[in-house]
A and B are shown apart, each in its own frame.
Chain A
Amino acid sequence: QVQLVQSGAEVKKPGASMKVSCQASGYTFTHYFMHWVRQAPGQGLEWMGWINPHSGGTNYAQNFEGRVTMTRDTSISTVYMELTRLKSDDTAVYFCAREGRGPLIEGAFDIWGQGTMVIVSP
Chain B
Amino acid sequence: EVVMTQSPATLSVSPGERITLSCRASQSISNNLAWYQQKPGQAPRLLIYGASTRATGIPARFSGSGSGTEFTLTISSLQSEDFAVYYCHQYSNWPRFGGGTKVEI
Contact = CB atoms under 8 A, between A and B. Distances in A.
Interface of A: 35, 37, 44-47, 61, 95, 97, 100, 103-110, 112-115
A61 B100 CA distance: 20
Given A95-B44, A109-B46, A113-B43, 13 more contacts: A44-B98, A45-B36, A45-B97, A45-B100, A47-B94, A47-B96, A61-B94, A104-B49, A107-B91, A108-B89, A109-B36, A109-B44, A109-B89
A46 B43 contact: no
Interface residues of B, number: 23
Nearest to B46: A110
Q: Main secondary structure on chain B at its contact with chain A? A: loop
Q: Main secondary structure on chain A at its contact with chain B? A: strand
Contacts of B31: 104
Nearest to A46: B97
